[in-house]
Amino acid sequence: MLSRAQREEFEARGLLWLRAAVDPGVVADLRARILEYLAQKRAIPESPPASFVIHAARTSRLMGAFDFAKTWGDSGVAAIDDMLGAGRWLVPQHAGQLLMMTWPNPGAEWRLPHKVWHLDYPAPAAATVIPGIQVFLFVDRIEPRSGGTLFVAGSHRLVDALRRRQPPDWPGASSEVRRSLAREVPWLRELWSLRPGEDRIARFMERVSVVAGGELQVVEAVGEPADVLVMHPWVLHAPAPNCGTRPRMLLTERIRLRTGGD
């Protein structure tokens, strides 16, 4: 079961790391089968360029063969039960989607992106509960600046406050949320723009800022194989460049509540 401290961390930051939450043997087998599949398909050139990627669609057939419960294991399923309630969420048909594999460009300068920050779930005004959660499984080690997804920890609170001020029919699409928050929250507006000479890493990643009574900070999806990251559905996030030493391998799945949360 999740501890009180873990629940408080998730409520405050919208993110929770569960270290070594999945059977390492299962993850090692998953990683090996992905690489074997790509080799059989001759999907990876002998000398991949720095810009080389393998899109999720390329591995979707393979990932469809992996069972959700067997891949994520008892501890992964138990964590979702703790978050959403046992029997209140829809069990996915397969283990999830392997996010776009980005190949490393170790000679490049890593820069904090200002574009493509978004939500995967809408945040409608009419919602009475969160629609679910998103979970990420580290299939391989992801080190800092190595393509791990970026998150604005704490941004779910701003999104929730925004949607509660809207008329009941407000759909809360990602683009609407972003436009509204850019007008209201200078910290976010400045994250989503560039100003000459600013050290963006120091300001947005190395420093915790208090905004609207809560803390905001950009953090990376960094972890070891078999680690799990749980994300609140209304956390703003963005892809990041891979300046590390290995391809990024990160599995994800969106866990949705049953209709009405029942």
pLDDT tens for 59-108 read 999 999 999 999 999 999 999 999 999 999 999 999 999 999 999 998 89
Q: What is the pLDDT of residue 260?
A: 52
Q: What is the CATH number of the domain that holds 248?
A: 2.60.120.620
Domain around 228: 4-261
Report d(CA 102, CA 66) in Å as an integer.
22
Which pLDDT value is given to residue 261?
A: 43
Q: Against a cut of 0.75, is the pTM above it?
A: yes
Q: Residue holding tokens 């829809």? A: 90
* pLDDT score at 262: 42
In the chain, the amino acid numbered 19 is R
Domain count, the chain: 1
Regions in the chain scoring below 50 on pLDDT:
261-262
Supply the pLDDT for residue 1. Answer: 84
Q: Which amino acid is located at 185 in the chain?
A: V
3-class SS string, 3-55: CHHHHHHHHHHCEEEECCCCCHHHHHHHHHHHHHHHHHCCCCCCCCCCCCEEC
The model's pLDDT over 158-183, given as tens digits with 9 standing for 90+, comes to 999 999 999 999 999 999 999 999 99
